[in-house]
C-alpha cells in the first residue's frame, strides 16, 4: 500500500514552492484566507473552498486550473502559474466563489459539514488539525472523509462525518469505520512525511505538530444536527440508540475496538471546531451513557 499511496511532493516540487515567486505567492495568499484550505496531492496541489476546487496546480509544469474543469474557460485567465499576477488573486477567488455559491448552498449536507470542520480546525491553537480530505484507499472503493492530526498526542485520526437522518448512523457506519481502520491504519509514515512538507510550506498552523508513526490512529465519528435532548432537542434521535446497541456488539466482537464520538447539535449554523484532544473525546459508549435519556 505504501508504494501505491503517495501524496508527498517530490524534492524538486517542494523546492518550487520554496524558491519560485509565483508558486510562493499563491500559497502565501491562499493560506491567509480562512475560508480556503490547501492540500498536497503528490503531483498536484489543490486549493478548496466549501469542498470546491479554487486552484489546481500541476507542480512539475506549473499548469494552473482556476475553478472546476466543468467551468467554461474564462478568456484572459492564466493557465500557468508563471503567468499569474498575484494582485489578481482576490478577483479569481471571488469569481470562483460566485460561480459555486448556489451549488455550495445546495450540495450534499455532509460535504458542507466536512468543509466546516476543515475551516474551523486550522487555527494555531487548535487541538486538532485536518491534514487531508476525501482519501481513496489504494486498490479499494472506500473513501475516508478526513485525516486528522491530534496535536497533543501526535496521533492521526480517521474521521467519518454523518448528518441528521442518515440511517447509516444507526450501525452501518461502524462497519465503514472498521474498513477505514484496515485500509488507512498503516499510513502513519506517509502522513508523517506529508505533515512535514505542510509545515515546511506553512500549511499547518501549529509548527510543532508531528505524527507519531508508532501509534495506531484514532477512529472518530463526527455527527451534526442529530437530535439530542440534553443538547436542546425535544427528544433523542432513535439512530443514536441504535448506534449505542451496534457499538456494544462491535466492542464485544472486535478486540480493541474503540471509536470516539463528537456530536455538533446543529447541522450548519455553528462552529465545527473540535473542542479537545481526540484522545480526550468520549468513546461512543461513554458519550451515550452520559447524554442519552430513556430507552430506544
Residue 4 included in any domain: no
Q: Which of 71, 106, 141 is the last residue of a domain?
A: 106
pLDDT at 1: 40
Q: What pLDDT does 4 receive? A: 65
* pLDDT the model gives residue 106: 75
Quote the pTM value.
0.94
**Gyration radius of the chain's alpha carbons:** 20
Instruction: Evaluate whether residue 5 is within a structural domain.
Output: no
Q: Please tell me the predicted confidence (pLDDT) of residue 111.
A: 86
Question: Would residue 296 count as lying in a domain?
Answer: no
Single out the residue in 106, 136, 171 at which a domain terminates.
106
List the pLDDT tens digit at each of the 296 positions of the chain. 444 678 999 999 999 999 999 999 999 999 999 999 999 999 999 999 988 999 999 999 999 999 988 877 789 999 999 999 999 999 999 999 998 887 777 777 888 899 999 999 998 899 999 999 999 876 667 899 999 999 999 999 999 999 998 999 999 999 999 999 999 999 999 999 999 999 999 999 898 899 999 999 999 999 999 999 998 899 999 999 999 999 999 999 999 999 999 999 887 778 999 999 999 999 999 999 999 986 55
- Given 57, 89, 106, the domain boundary residue is 106
Is 1 part of any domain?
Answer: no
Within-domain flag for 21: yes
pLDDT at 150: 97
User: What domain range includes position 71?
Assistant: 11-106
Amino acid at each position: 500500500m505504501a508504494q501505491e499511496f503517495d501524496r508527498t511532493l517530490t524534492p524538486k516540487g517542494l523546492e518550487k514552492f520554496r524558491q519560485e515567486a509565483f508558486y510562493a505567492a499563491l500559497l502565501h495568499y491562499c493560506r491567509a484566507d480562512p475560508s480556503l484550505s490547501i492540500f498536497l496531492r503528490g503531483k498536484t496541489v489543490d486549493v478548496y473552498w466549501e469542498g470546491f476546487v479554487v486552484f489546481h496546480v500541476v507542480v512539475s509544469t506549473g499548469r494552473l486550473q482556476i475553478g472546476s474543469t466543468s467551468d467554461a474557460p474564462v478568456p484572459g485567465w492564466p493557465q500557468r502559474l508563471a503567468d499569474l499576477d498575484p494582485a489578481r488573486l482576490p478577483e479569481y477567488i471571488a469569481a470562483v466563489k460566485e460561480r459555486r455559491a448556489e451549488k455550495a448552498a445546495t450540495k450534499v449536507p455532509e460535504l458542507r459539514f466536512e468543509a466546516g470542520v476543515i475551516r474551523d480546525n486550522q487555527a494555531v491553537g487548535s487541538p486538532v488539525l485536518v491534514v487531508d480530505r476525501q482519501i481513496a484507499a489504494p486498490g479499494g472503493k472506500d473513501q475516508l472523509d478526513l485525516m486528522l492530526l491530534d496535536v497533543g498526542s501526535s496521533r492521526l485520526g480517521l474521521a467519518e462525518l454523518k448528518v441528521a437522518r442518515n440511517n447509516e448512523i444507526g450501525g452501518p457506519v461502524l462497519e465503514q469505520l472498521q474498513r477505514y481502520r484496515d485500509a488507512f491504519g498503516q499510513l502513519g509514515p506517509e502522513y508523517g512525511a506529508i505533515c512535514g512538507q505542510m509545515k515546511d510550506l506553512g500549511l499547518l498552523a501549529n509548527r510543532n505538530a508531528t505524527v507519531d508513526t508508532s501509534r495506531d490512529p484514532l477512529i472518530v465519528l463526527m455527527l451534526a444536527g442529530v437530535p439530542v435532548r440534553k443538547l436542546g432537542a425535544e427528544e433523542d434521535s432513535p439512530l443514536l440508540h441504535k448506534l449505542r446497541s451496534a457499538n456494544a456488539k462491535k466492542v464485544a466482537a472486535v478486540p480493541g475496538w474503540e471509536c470516539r464520538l463528537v456530536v455538533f447539535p446543529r447541522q450548519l449554523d455553528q462552529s465545527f471546531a473540535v473542542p479537545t484532544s481526540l484522545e480526550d473525546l468520549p468513546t461512543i459508549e461513554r458519550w451515550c451513557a452520559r447524554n442519552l435519556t430513556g430507552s430506544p
